[in-house]
Amino acid sequence: MASTIETLERELGEAQRERENEQRAVVRAENAHEAACAARDEAWAERPTDDPEVERLTELVYRRRRELYEAIDRLKAAEGRERRIKSRLMYVLPAERRRYLSGEVDEEFEAFLVAARELYREELPGVEISVITERPGELDLRGDATWRALERLYSGTVRRWVEIRAPSPSPKLADLAALISHYAGGHTPRLFAAGEELRTPPAPRNVRPLPGYDTPQGRLALARITTRRYLDENSVSRLSKRPEVLVQIAEIARLYQTVNLTVDEIRWRLEQLVSLRLEVLRAVYRLTSERRRFSFYEIARAARLLDGHFPDPAVAAEALLEAVDRAIRTGVPLVDVAYMSVTR
């Protein structure tokens, strides 16, 4: 029995083909209408208005115009059907939506992929890693129903993803995919072994360190790779002037990747934190990783409130930790505790 995603993917494919056919019909109707108008205008210029040929051409113009309006109505109906199916498909698709690679692919990212390939070269001989780009209108309908549905859903945009190809299946392919996903914004690479696509298994928790990236410059490069998946280039450039802050922001992003959040949800959370100082960011990271009682909104709002009030960032970070402890003891909302800390 076909799943909901498979059914909707098939229906969306039919709706998109119908919409494309109706678009071509509208173009044909427009051309026919314009040709009829041109013929009538030419006859008008040479003959009187009551001439039978002019009357025939005028009637033809009205008929072609009516056919054009009918074609436009059919196109609008097909577009509406496609939109309704897309809305239903968005509802049932997995929440993470990380099968596409967000952000730009630059030389730094390419160098990261080369380092990842070299790290597993001995365990995965012959493995190749590449970035695939699909232009608007081009569809890659390989893989499972979820992938086909995503391709149809985002067919109007440029789409990128990482493909890993190996001569034969190996458990190490999942480790390599997890390594790339960890630093590339939670993106899920597509795995191919012996020409067949493999279902991506759950990502292992332990990620091996990358050779050559264990220096401050290497950690900063990895931080830029991660944050570019979520933040715009201007934000990354400003954060690059505060290297330690950028690295901490990247660590928080990787922590959010372990939660069932979409790329847009992670982006919104990081945008709330980019203005905080390093000590406060470290406190936010500690609270987010250790305490699940408070929502991100509470922690981020309290952090911004305290960071803007105390001139010393260490004092602001300590006040944030104390506010959390006090909120736990008293049951008072965290934001209210933080507000009392700056008004007492």
Distance CA 4, CA 70 (A): 33
Question: Of the given ranges (6-15, 63-72, 78-87, 282-291), which has the lowest mean pLDDT?
Answer: 282-291
Cα–Cα distances (Å) from 151 to 49, 136, 190, in that order, read 55, 10, 14
H runs (alpha helix) in 258-333: 263-271, 278-290, 296-309, 313-330
pLDDT at 251: 92
Does residue 143 contact residue 197 with C-beta atoms inside 8 Å? yes
For helices 278-290 and 313-330, the axis angle rounded to 10 degrees is 30
Which position has the higher pLDDT, 1 or 236? 236
For helices 172-183 and 107-119, the axis angle rounded to 10 degrees is 150
Q: What is the pLDDT of residues 178-222, one digit of tens each?
A: 999 999 988 889 999 888 888 766 565 678 888 889 899 999 999
**What's the N-to-C CA distance of the chain in angstroms?**
64
Question: Of the given ranges (145-159, 286-300, 314-328), which has the lowest mean pLDDT?
Answer: 286-300
pTM: 0.79
What average pLDDT does the structure give for the chain?
87
| Partners of residue 191 on adjacent β-strands | 164, 198
